[in-house]
């Protein structure tokens, strides 16, 4: 599986995790991974904290096997909208 294919699975998963987790969990994850020390994590504003945690989760998942990513998607009950073109939409309606 290519990195781009993995990213197409990872991005919705990371977005879902960020919507379902509390900001304190983001801070704790950055501390636990040794990315930042306590003072650095506390000093982050909301947008910087969002970017740091999103990058951390994305990089962690990029190094995982695709089966693990799929298991995480299933475990977290992640779903996303598929945007079919009009011609495919009409075919689905007819089917």
Domain hosting residue 50, numbered range: 3-94
Confidence category of residue 48, pLDDT binned at 50, 70, 90? very high
Q: What is the pLDDT of residue 67?
A: 94
The reported pTM is: 0.77
Cα distances from 93 to residues 10, 83, 88, in angstroms, run: 30, 14, 9
Instruction: Read off φ and ψ for residue 15, nearest 5 degrees.
Output: -60, -40
pLDDT at 92: 61
């Amino acid at each position: 599986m290519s990195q781009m294919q993995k990213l197409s699975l990872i991005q919705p998963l990371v977005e879902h995790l960020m919507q379902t987790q509390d900001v304190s969990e983001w801070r704790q994850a950055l501390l636990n991974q040794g990315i930042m020390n306590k003072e650095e994590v506390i000093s982050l504003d909301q947008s910087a904290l969002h970017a740091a945690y999103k990058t951390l989760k994305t990089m962690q998942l990029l190094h995982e096997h695709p089966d693990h990513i799929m298991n995480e998607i299933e475990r977290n009950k992640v779903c996303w909208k598929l945007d079919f073109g009009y011609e495919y939409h009409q075919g689905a309606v007819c089917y």
